[in-house]
Amino acid sequence: MGPKSSIIASDARFKGEITGKDSIRIVGYFEGEIKIEGLVWIEKDGKIVGTIEAPYIIIEGEIEGDIISARHIEIRRKGKITGNIKSDIIEMAEESVVQGEISMSGKSGDTPSTFVEKRQHNPIKE
């Protein structure tokens, strides 16, 4: 059985569509559409230009485009989204940026929660 996450490396640039059941980490650049059933993690040097549909999203880097469906989004310190967001739960660290509309389901309240980022570990098991 292989790894449960795919990685777009820091020096890689991809354009197209990514679909799958597991998770993906974006450390490089991706332009297009992502539909993943697991976690989409945009690391601090990663950038996505396009749309994302995934249940769990961690943003340390940058997204230019919409998140059209998510259960839980975590925008970490210096993470940036320029686009609209639709999610059940949104957590935003201090110094994170969202430029666009946020639509929440109301399941956990109707406003994003904030936090001071203290994590130093990788939530995705290699």
d(Cα 56, Cα 1) in Å, to the nearest integer? Answer: 23
Is residue 66 a part of any domain in this protein? yes
pLDDT in tens, 35-76: 999 999 999 999 999 999 999 999 999 999 999 988 999 999
Domain count within the chain? 1
Sign (positive or negative) of CA dihedral 118, 40, 30, 67: negative
In a domain, 120, yes or no: no
Residue 126 within a domain = no
Residue 105: band (very low, low, confident or very high) from pLDDT cuts 50, 70, 90? confident
Give the three-state DSSP class for 5. Answer: strand
pTM over 0.85: no
**Residue 121 placed within a domain:** no
Does residue 23 sit within a domain?
Answer: yes
| pLDDT classification of 126: cutoffs 50, 70, 90 | very low
**What is the extent of the structural domain holding 33?**
5-115
